[in-house]
Chains A and B, each alone.
Chain A
Amino acid sequence: MSRVVPVPGTSAFFAAAANADAAWFRCLDQNRRAAQNGNMNKSGNMTGAGGKRVRVIHPWPLRVTHWLNAVAIVMMIGSGWQIYDASPLFGFTFPPLITIGGWLGAAIAWHLAFMWLLVINGIAYFAWGAGSGHFKKFWPLSPRQILRELGLALTFRLKHETGMYNAVQRFLYVGVLFAGVVIVISGLGIWKPVQLWFFTDLCGGYFIARYVHFFAMTAIVGFVAIHVLLVLLVPKTLPPMLTGGRIET
């Protein structure tokens, strides 16, 4: 089955968006009914109405860190663009309309305030992921499978299997987590090139660290763009990130 991607701004786009909204609420409704009909057993799994075992798609630590991270990312990127504009690395600046802070001093203040949310929330996520076995969902990472499923995804033939990460998702999630680690290390290297010199040196010195920081930001922005686009295309993936969702196993 082929699927036409609506062009933003056209009537087809708004019709698709309306459909997406309807699917959203159907999903919410299904989740609510599943929760009402189900009974929680001792292990935290639920038994569905049909007697099948039900588990949460996104456990609460994942949902909490996901949305806190979303706030931190928006604040860090918006203020980071304003900081970039004070001394651009390339032949362009970010328009004031999409930056946060209004001027360099305020942008730095926002950036160095929300870096704590980004880092502490990130550490909490990695600790939970390591302890809960969540990171097993990112395995295996085979380049051939990634390419094959990427081909399917780009032609809209890759089926979304609820509760499972396909190879493209695994690649993107591992990639953005790596970019997250790189952006924090390069950021600390730029912030404190004397006291935290090892981070600066790891990035090839202060001058290069600014480029590393910029390209890590670009990777994250690229991820966010794909991530949000995919949620628009497969809107049923959004409610479980709010409610946790339920899936029969």
Chain B
Amino acid sequence: MKIDGSRRKFLHRAMAFGAVAALPGCNYEDPQNPDLADRFLHAMSDWNDRVQQALFSESTLAPTFSPDQITNPPRFNAFYDISQAPVVDEASYRLELGGQIQDKQGWSLGALNALPQEQQITRLICVEGWRVIGQWGGVRLSDFLRRIGADTSCKYVSFKCADGYYSSIDMESALHPQTILATSFLGQPLTPAFGAPLRLRIPTKLGFKNPKNLIYLGVGNVYTGGYWEDQGYNWFSGS
């Protein structure tokens, strides 16, 4: 996501001169104090979540591509510059688990790599409109959730990242066969900028629903939102 806070504030101010800015709060300016327009947009976004949940099918697969279609060089994207990507010490790394999970022992990168692996060449579509094709490899999330004894009747799977980013997805999408906990990108271990040591790769959702540099995975029925979702982006954001 390229829009940083200052640019957005600038746009807000620029809007103040626009005729449309006269519509009160038509821009989600203050999510903590929603006005009438914000509440309308929230209600419609909730409705769109339900519609997307109804449209979602576990058997509908995201399109896959051939190796020569891979976007090269890959495109970095975050709410900060590439030089600020968090570097996680892989030797001491443990993926923390929480919520409705039987075995909450942390997972080292070695243990994750010892699980059955799979590769996918899929398309990542950014909420901004652009798209890239990449190859990701890792552990199928549905396999992992079953292995740790997660209660898959729960509604949400939530993620926290080393850079403070966070997001959450619906359980149906989490159990989709193409949803993986990725440890590799373009045939190489992940680099910090592209999500090392572990990222979610979910080709049935928009790019910002693919959190990088994961440090925590939780399962539960409490809605935990997300970094962009809490600012007004649609939560389900399915493709």
Residues of chain A touching chain B, judged by Cβ–Cβ distance below 8 Å, are 78, 83-84, 86-87, 96-106, 108-110, 112-113, 116, 190, 192-197, 206-207, 210
Contact = CB atoms under 8 A, between A and B. Distances in A.
Main secondary structure of the interface of A (DSSP, over half): helix
Interface string B166-200: 00000000000000000000000000000000000
B62 interface: yes
B233 A192 contact: no
B114 interface: no
Contacts of A195: 52, 55-57, 60, 204, 238-239
Contacts of A102: 11-12, 14-15, 21, 26-27, 29
A86 B125 CA distance: 13
B15 A96 contact: yes
B131 A206 contact: yes
Sorted nearest first, the 7 A-B pairs with minimum C-beta distance are A102-B27, A113-B44, A87-B129, A105-B232, A86-B128, A102-B15, A87-B128
Contacts of A87: 126, 128-130
Main secondary structure of the interface of B (DSSP, over half): loop
Contacts of A99: 18, 20
B234 interface: yes
Contact of A113 (B21, B40, B56): B40
Contact of B55 (A83, A100, A113, A196): A196
Contacts of A106: 26-28, 41, 232
Given A96-B18, A100-B20, A109 B41 contact: yes
B28 A109 contact: yes
Interface in B13-48: 14-15, 17-21, 26-29, 40-41, 44-45, 47-48
B41 A110 contact: yes
A112 to B, nearest CB: 5
Which of A78, A109, A206, A210 counts the most chain B CB atoms within 10 A?
A: A109
A195 B56 CA distance: 6
12 contacts: A87-B126, A96-B14, A103-B8, A103-B28, A109-B234, A112-B45, A112-B48, A116-B44, A192-B238, A195-B55, A195-B56, A195-B57
Contacts of B164: none
Nearest to B29: A102
Contact of A100 (B26, B60, B204, B233): B26
A152 to B, nearest CB: 37
Given A87-B129, A195-B57, A108 B233 contact: yes
Given A103-B11, A194-B203, 9 more contacts: A97-B14, A98-B18, A102-B29, A106-B26, A112-B44, A194-B60, A194-B63, A194-B239, A195-B239
B13 to A, nearest CB: 9
Interface of B: 2-3, 8, 11-12, 14-15, 17-21, 26-29, 40-41, 44-45, 47-48, 52, 55-57, 60-63, 123, 125-131, 203-204, 228, 231-234, 238-239
Contacts of A206: 123, 125, 131
Contacts of A116: 44, 47
A96 B28 contact: no
Nearest to B129: A87
A127 B47 CA distance: 25
Contacts of B127: 86, 104, 108
A193 B125 contact: yes
B59 to A, nearest CB: 11
Contacts of B52: 192, 195
Contacts of B45: 109, 112-113
A191 to B, nearest CB: 8
A192 B55 CA distance: 9
Contacts of A190: 129
A99 to B, nearest CB: 8
B20 A78 contact: yes
B17 A97 contact: yes
A207 B239 contact: no
A231 B77 CA distance: 47
A104 B3 contact: yes
A207 B21 CA distance: 32
Contacts of B27: 101-103, 106
